[in-house]
Structure 1
């Protein structure tokens, strides 16, 4: 069974295909476990749950933002489970996710609370994420923005791109480096192999999403390997004993810091 699952995964050439293979292999297994050590939040998302958020977000991108293949969305977001959903949704819709990109040069912008003032420079649609526990909405939606937590749940649970992207289409810009969907998958597989990640492994990442290394460790390498990630934000607030206890409770097998 594992060999068959791995063979199907080896044929994937885009991030959307990686997620589809993960769903087919074991939709119920944990994929992203998120901690915020500033708020005490812990959220665990199975493959199916994350895929549902991805579908709703991709529908929001395609139908509400009217974004087309090749458009760019600046993501002013930290390492967070909702950022993972946006990265995969942009890839599914054929839209380029520009992490910490220039809002003024983007077709749309998605921002957390810390980036709202900067995001106002975007001439297109603006989406705001509260990043509150459990994906709660803003208590008062920021002026000039659509509240993601109010807009996304109304979207369909299944997504089909009007103009599906291929492996040669650009998918993400991180640290000023643009990667096509195919190149992203290749690098994620290479990173997973270098870390020794395999099906069932659990990688605990303390890295941000400002570099490819952080984005790979925090999402794409575990996804490509059939593994899962324990994504920790504000982990500097956690002492060594706390990190060791978390690693033990989460059955962590690999680390990225």
Structure 2
């Protein structure tokens, strides 16, 4: 008697559904970060969802972010820039590249840099164990390290995403609407770190170039939407050529860009 072949699970179509799908395996590593000075941070599905939810709540409750809000993420490729980008997309906002001249909200690790006069500034400390921003803050700026942790672990309310609004504007990756965000992200993953490997444990090497952060976030979102996980590796000065290979073996990587 003929059998019906198993069907592949449908990919999520929004950031919210992508994060929700991660909770079916809450303890599974989804984003692993290798940063400066031997830093290694592992975010399970539950922990990644928790960080994005808290950040989403801050954007909505503190900064009134939603469709039509522009959020300039002025950070290098990093797990923290990923969280802020996903949270901005979760509320339907438009993410601007780091070198954009404007932004209703500016999320940055260099808050003393020039920002639009009326912009809300959020100062982000990149070191893993930072409990506060190490430096002077401009008047009115929020310290992300202290502020995010005061918000709820579950999104209380978020505005409905408007599909025709821009999710990503300008920069090397062009303009992407929210309606096309997941398809674009999946395409970025399949052309890069997860090429031809469904559910991949993908290794993605990143650098300090801030303008590549949006592309990194897109690729990571695409891998997550495909049921996979990502190892983000920032090479350090003096690294030997085999370090990435050793990390790939340790992390059981199945795909590399």
Q: TM-score, normalised by structure 2?
A: 0.85
Contact 1:169–1:181 under 8 Å retained in 2: yes
- Tell me what 1:227 maps to: 228
- Distance between the aligned counterparts of 1:161 and 1:95, measured in 2? 15
Partner of 2:14: 14
Query: Which protein has the bigger helix share?
Result: 1
Q: Which moved more, 1:173-182 or 1:151-160?
A: 173-182
The structure number with the bigger radius of gyration is 2
Matched residues in 2 for 1:26 and 1:174: separation? 35
Cα distance in structure 1, aligned partners of 2:165 and 2:240:
42
User: Which consecutive residues of structure 1, in runs of 5 or more, have no partner in the other structure?
Assistant: none
Q: Give the secondary-structure state (helix, strand or coil) at the position aligned to 1:45.
A: strand
Q: Say what the alpha-carbon RMSD is for the aligned residues.
A: 2.2
In the TM superposition, residue 140 of structure 1 has moved relative to its aligned partner by: 4.2
Match of 2:196?
A: 196
In the superposition, the TM-score normalised over structure 1's length comes to 0.85
- Answer yes or no: is the 8 Å Cα contact 1:192–1:224 preserved in 2: no
Matched, 1:98 2:93: no
**Equivalence for 2:3:** none
Assess, with a 3 A threshold, how the Cα gap between structure 1 residues 224 and 119 changes in structure 2: closer, same or farther.
farther
Matched, 1:137 2:132: yes
Q: Over residues 130-161 of structure 1, what are the superposed CA-to-partner deviations in whole Å (9 max), with x where a residue is unaligned?
A: 10123532244523321101000000111144
Work out the number of aligned pairs and report it. Answer: 244
Report the Cα distance in structure 1 between the residues aligned to 2:162 and 2:64, rounded to whole angstroms: 19
Written as runs of structure 1 = structure 2, the 5 A alignment for 1:163-178 is 163-173=159-169, 175-176=171-172, 177-178=174-175
Question: How far 1:101 moved relative to its partner?
Answer: 4.2
> Closer, same or farther in 2 for the Cα pair 1:93/1:167, shift >3 Å?
same
* Residues 1:160 and 1:96: Cα distance change in structure 2 (over 3 Å): farther
Q: What is the CA-CA distance between 1:231 and the residue it aligns to?
A: 0.5
Structure 2: which 5+ runs fail to align? 1-5
What is the Cα deviation at residue 93 of structure 1?
A: 1.0
